[in-house]
Amino acid sequence: MEISLNVNGTAHSLEVPANTLLSDILRERLRLTGTHVGCDTSQCGACVVHVNGDAVKSCTVLAGQANGASVTTIEGIGTPDDLHPMQTAFRDNHALQCGFCTPGMIMSAIELVEKNDGLTEQAVRDGLEGNLCRCTGYHNIVKAVLAAARQM
């Protein structure tokens, strides 16, 4: 099927099989490999991107569902010279170890901060329920999100 989508401000038209996942379109067709696929079973959150402003697990979105959407990936929020405040906060708070979960954590955290005022530590922990970090790094991740919330 033919789909069109806007990814990080760039319009794309693609011919893809209907059983293609958004995560595969991003990684394999557009070579945006910052979006990671961890569990591939909708649990780990490494594949989280924003679709029309909402954080979703891109491994659980069909091509047709993404047709016409505006998508933001980890590549779309900052550059190495001009990091997003959330990326800066993750760096400053040592909120990553292996880094595999980080793109999804950051995309989830940005939505969390953008949609909620006055976040508490508990609200951040609840808000990151859909993202797993297997380096057990949650403590510093929560610190980073709270720090970024003060900057954003």
Contacts with another protein by CB under 8 A lie at 1, 17-19, 21, 40-43, 45, 48, 54-57, 60-65, 67, 108, 111-112, 127, 129-130
- In the complex, least distance from residue 81 CB atom to another protein, rounded to whole angstroms: 30
Report, in Å, the least distance between residue 42 CB and another protein.
5
Q: Pick from 46, 76, 77, 75: which is nearest to 60 by CA? A: 46
Residue number with CB closer to another protein (43 or 70):
43
3-state helix/strand/coil string of 36-93: CCCCCCCCCCCCEEEECCEEEEHHHCEHHHHCCCEEECHHHCCECCECCHHHHHHHHC
- Smallest distance from another protein to CB 22, Å: 10
Q: Which is nearer to another protein, 23 or 140 (CB)?
A: 23
Q: How far apart are CA 25 and CA 83, in angstroms?
A: 25
Which is nearer to another protein, 61 or 144 (by Cβ)? 61
152 burial via Cβ count (<10 Å: 0-12, 13-18, 19+): middle
Residue 103: CB minimum distance to another protein, A: 14
Decide whether 55 or 149 has the Cβ nearer to another protein: 55
